[in-house]
Chains A and B, each alone.
Chain A
């Protein structure tokens, strides 16, 4: 996957807190032929760019729960807790893209099961993607992307003790914008920020299906051979 970087650097030269990039889908990805090949995205590591409402939507759309176990509670994320969690996370990475890009993929994603319908829809959206897009879309394309006019499509956060260890959580990308390298971008940003603070012990709890992704991002099983354990006993009264 190649990227063209249009870096809009804000802040310290070595650590950029906001950046505009392009992500591209690899050519062999046939299933996503209806979706845009490459889209601009905006990455921000600033907490003020996190809109909690949008974030909550993202959780549901990505089918991601804050609770690891279903028995602890599922469904809509508790706002108060989410706010606390974000404010107490040391690293927060949000990825935005232009609304019409996200909307397009939403439409085509919703008719996943029916192939025939997808064909007809894909031809429509393909028409929109090509150069002869509508004027509205062209205007949208020209406007610079920023967190206020963009839609939240990817997120990741980490909390640490500012000394030795850190823990990565809630990594998610809108399902239909996956496989474009956005997740990896988020993880790289998180690790970069943590290592810049001299924290190298970075852990990530992941489900079985998430393991290949984290592996591709540079994570691996603990070399010291430790066993991951979680508290599962229900609280007695």
Chain B
């Protein structure tokens, strides 16, 4: 009997298994009910997308193994059509983006920074508090978490209060401090098929911060990012009082006779 050493090849094969197109693992058909804290891997964008991709693939690999053993309640198998190697280039994960939108000094000497971020952490509890503030009906937290996780793009606005003595460059040292003072004040999200269509849902800004152009900035950035990815059909369903708001941003009501209809079971 001849034993052929296979140690090197087997270890290679383990990793090569991981390098399947990301989309097939990213099926997210099981909204994770375990944690309500969503942390997309918050890697700063300068580290590059490759590392982010590999780590995500590895994590998703175990996720798919684990979920395969869990009760299978999903019959629509997400099997990829052949030749999906180009997939990685098309649907590269949206890199987390974060920058300061506005910085101003408040009356009591504190500095307030409004930070725009996309692809970052969102605490569902904070979001629910925000939804309550604007007067929206409550929605189940697990559904909210799943929706956020599986949205194509989620943009948030946070307000960070800093004491005036610290300079803005010492942000790393004060990180912990900032976390406590960080308040969610706005959000917007979009779902999409990553190619042709996108719908913007849930645009909201804390009433105390409204009227300052923050909502406009949120939607504008979202739309710009979508257009950059060549997604041409961007739609949304606006309540009557905000139709003008969206019109000013370049949206048109019922264009070419297109209307949205919703399904109502009898």
Contacts and interface: CB of A to CB of B under 8 A. Distances in A.
Interface of A: 11-12, 15-17, 45-48, 50, 52, 66-69, 72-73, 80-92, 157, 159-165, 167, 169, 191, 193, 195, 197-198, 200-208, 211, 214-215, 217-233, 235
Given A85-B195, A87-B84, A231-B234, A201 B262 contact: yes
Contacts of B23: 87-88
Given A88-B91, A211-B261, A218-B263, A81 B77 contact: no
Interface string B245-264: 01100111111111111111
Given A17-B77, A87-B87, A218-B265, A165 B251 contact: no
B101 to A, nearest CB: 21
The 8 closest A-B pairs by CB, nearest first: A163-B147, A233-B250, A163-B146, A85-B195, A219-B261, A228-B260, A208-B257, A231-B234
Given A163-B31, A218-B263, A84 B253 contact: no
B75 interface: yes
B235 A229 contact: yes
A227 to B, nearest CB: 5
Interface of B is mostly: mixed
12 contacts: A48-B81, A68-B256, A161-B150, A161-B201, A162-B28, A162-B150, A211-B261, A215-B261, A221-B261, A222-B261, A228-B236, A231-B251
B76 interface: yes
B238 A227 contact: yes
B99 interface: no
A206 B147 contact: no
Interface of B: 23-24, 28-29, 31, 72-81, 84, 86-87, 90-91, 139, 142-151, 189, 191-197, 199, 201, 223, 227, 230, 232-240, 243, 246-247, 250-266
A88 B196 CA distance: 11
A46 B79 contact: yes
Contact of A163 (B77, B144, B227): B144
A225 B223 CA distance: 24
A193 B232 CA distance: 27
A67 B191 contact: no
B193 A159 contact: yes
Contacts of B148: 161, 163
Interface of A is mostly: mixed
Contacts of A69: 232-233, 255-256
A88 B77 contact: no
B191 A83 contact: no
Contacts of B196: 66-67, 81, 85, 169
A165 B147 contact: yes
Contacts of A46: 76-77, 79
B261 A84 contact: no
B81 A205 contact: no
A227 B243 contact: yes
A68 B257 CA distance: 11
Contact of B79 (A47, A68, A195, A197): A47
A82 B31 contact: no
Contact of A204 (B79, B192, B234, B261): B261
A88 B76 contact: no
Contact of A220 (B73, B87, B261): B261
Contacts of B261: 203-204, 206, 211, 214-215, 219-222
Nearest to A13: B75
A163 B147 CA distance: 4
Contacts of A160: 150, 191
B151 A161 contact: yes
